[in-house]
């Protein structure tokens, strides 16, 4: 079988890249080890966030919001989004300062962000009760997709409309290289010839790149959330709430509340050190982590820690040393590209990131700013340093960076 582009992995990043390559007129095959969206993407909270740590990510995030909200217009397939808006809340002086900085910064980068008084938060959010002095930002652009599989289904349908072949249960087992160029992929059942191969294998991105002998510096780290049982006191029209000093996020879900957060001592997990059959279903989950995070907002959102749990799920983030996406051509190996380094926001950034990557692949020129996401930017980094930096990024998701490291804060979900 031949194609212009083979994408490895049918998660949000792989499918968006495939769709946009097809929209640019390329023939595309997606090879997926299991089923589309079965790993990180199908377990995401579905949150989109316009406030980001730098201008490029703000641009990608806002473009993604616009593209998700208008999916039917450009992709020809309906997609329902909740235009809920979101509150960012800080309860400490340090985090208040931090949000004030984000307000100025994000506005400078074009995002619609406004200071909100506590009365507005109380009026708009049924599940959050302010008990101390707080500082809040209102982000009207923010949206969520109630069930993450809806975005995957929409990408799949749009891909099929454009003739993309999505081959499920077809793991890639080899990436042949001839004279410094990749020539396609070998799957469990066949060879697919293509001049361009995109590694969008999520938590497995390193081992897939290693099939071509390429190092990709990413550290997979566990992330979890829970959904409480239905509660008539929770208004399904409520906005998203992120309490930055507690590193937690909340939104209405299935009549209950979705609650997730970022622990200070996260769990790295490298699928390369697991049995070959390892999938996200084998990831050890730990509800105590979420209960401890919920305790930090127990006065404001008692339900987060006490309501019966209807679903507890988790998956792997791919954390990069600087908290930014890893997307672009692999150095010294013509034809191999990476779409990864989600740092917790690969689901919500997938519309714009896939679009930008496809433009780069099909025109040969990186769209403005994208060259900064090159997989080459870290040089060679030993694994322990890579993991330590990835864990730091995860643990400081909503936190100020220490002095001298302002650019290393990662904030997505």
Ligand X SMILES: Cc1cc2nc3c(=O)[nH]c(=O)nc-3n(C[C@H](O)[C@H](O)[C@H](O)COP(=O)(O)OP(=O)(O)OC[C@H]3O[C@@H](n4cnc5c(N)ncnc54)[C@H](O)[C@@H]3O)c2cc1C
Binding stretches for ligand X (CB under 6 A): 8-14, 31-34, 38-41, 43-47, 171-172, 200-204, 208, 223-225, 260, 313-315, 317, 340, 342, 344-348, 412-413
Q: How far is the CB of 225 from ligand X (least distance, A)?
A: 5
Select from 23, 55, 16, 36 the least CA-distant residue to 407.
55
Residue number, 57 or 96, with CB nearest to ligand X: 57
Give Cα separations from 16 to 45, 71, 283, 367 (angstroms): 18, 12, 25, 16
- What is the smallest separation between the CB atom of 129 and ligand X, expressed in angstroms? 24
Q: How far is the CB of 32 from ligand X (least distance, A)?
A: 5
Nearer to ligand X, 201 or 387 (CB): 201
| DSSP assignments along 87-124, one per residue | EEEE-SHHHHHHHHHHHHHHHHTT---EEE-HHHHHHH
> Which tokens go with 30?
């997606």
The answer to whether residues 215 and 201 touch, using CB atoms and an 8 Å cutoff, is: no
Cβ atoms of 229 and 310 within 8 Å: the answer is: yes
347 or 360: CB nearest ligand X: 347
Question: Nearer Cβ to ligand X, position 135 or 144?
Answer: 144
Alpha-helical runs (H) found in 256-335: 287-295, 302-306
- Which residues sit opposite 314 in a β-bridge? 224
With contact defined as beta carbons under 8 Å apart, do 14 and 206 qualify? Answer: no
Minimal distance in Å, beta carbon 370 to ligand X? 17
Return the number of the residue (13 or 303) whose C-beta is nearest ligand X: 13
At 174, is the secondary structure helix, strand, or coil?
strand
For the chain, how far is it from start to end, CA to CA, in angstroms? 38
Cβ at position 108, least distance to ligand X in Å = 23
In the complex with ligand X, the residue whose CB is nearer, 138 or 249, is 249
Please check whether residue 391 is in contact with residue 410, taking contact to mean a CB–CB distance below 8 angstroms: no
Nearer to ligand X, 96 or 313 (CB): 313
CB of 132 to ligand X, least distance (A): 27
Task: Count Cβ atoms within 10 A of the Cβ of residue 372 and give its class: 0-12 exposed, 13-18 middle, 19 or more buried.
Answer: middle
CA distance 326 to 393: 14
Cβ nearer to ligand X, comparing 39 with 106: 39
Q: Are the CB atoms for 182 and 107 separated by under 8 Å?
A: no
């Amino acid at each position: 079988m031949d194609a212009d582009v083979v994408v490895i992995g049918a998660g949000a990043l792989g499918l968006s890249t495939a769709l946009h390559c097809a929209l640019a007129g390329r023939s595309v095959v997606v090879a997926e080890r299991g089923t589309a969206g079965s790993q990180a993407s199908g377990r995401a909270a579905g949150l989109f966030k316009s406030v980001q740590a730098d201008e490029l990510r703000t641009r990608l995030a806002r473009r993604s919001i616009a593209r998700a909200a208008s999916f039917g217009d450009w992709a020809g397939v309906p997609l329902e989004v909740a235009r809920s808006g979101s509150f960012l809340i800080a309860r400490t002086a340090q985090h208040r300062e931090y949000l004030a900085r984000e307000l100025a910064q994000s506005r400078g980068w074009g995002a619609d962000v406004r200071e909100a008084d506590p009365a507005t938060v109380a009026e708009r959010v049924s599940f959050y009760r302010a008990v101390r002095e707080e500082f809040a930002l209102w982000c009207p652009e923010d949206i969520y997709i109630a069930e993450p599989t809806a975005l995957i289904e929409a990408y799949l349908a749009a891909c099929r409309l454009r003739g993309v072949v999505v081959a499920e249960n077809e793991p890639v087992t080899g990436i042949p290289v001839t004279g410094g160029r990749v020539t396609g992929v070998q799957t469990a059942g066949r060879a697919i010839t293509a001049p361009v191969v995109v590694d969008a294998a999520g938590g497995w991105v390193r081992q897939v790149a290693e099939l071509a002998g390429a190092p990709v510096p990413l550290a997979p780290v566990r992330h979890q959330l829970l959904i409480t049982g239905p509660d008539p006191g929770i208004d399904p029209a409520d906005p998203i709430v992120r309490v930055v000093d507690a590193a937690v996020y909340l939104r209405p879900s299935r009549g209950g509340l979705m609650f997730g957060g970022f622990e200070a001592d996260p769990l790295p997990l490298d699928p390369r050190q697991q049995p070959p059959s390892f999938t996200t279903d084998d990831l050890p989950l730990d509800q105590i982590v979420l209960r401890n995070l919920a305790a930090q907002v127990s006065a404001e959102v008692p339900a987060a820690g006490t309501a019966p749990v209807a679903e507890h799920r988790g998956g792997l983030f791919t954390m990069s040393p600087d908290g930014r996406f890893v997307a672009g051509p692999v150095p010294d190996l013509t034809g191999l590209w990476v779409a990864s380094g989600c740092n917790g926001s690969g689901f919500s950034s997938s519309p714009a990131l896939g679009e930008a990557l496809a433009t780069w692949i099909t025109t040969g020129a990186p769209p403005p700013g994208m060259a900064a996401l090159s997989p080459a930017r870290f040089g060679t980094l030993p694994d322990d340093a890579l993991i330590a930096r990835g864990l730091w990024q995860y643990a400081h998701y909503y936190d100020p960076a220490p002095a001298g490291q302002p650019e290393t804060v990662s904030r997505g979900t």
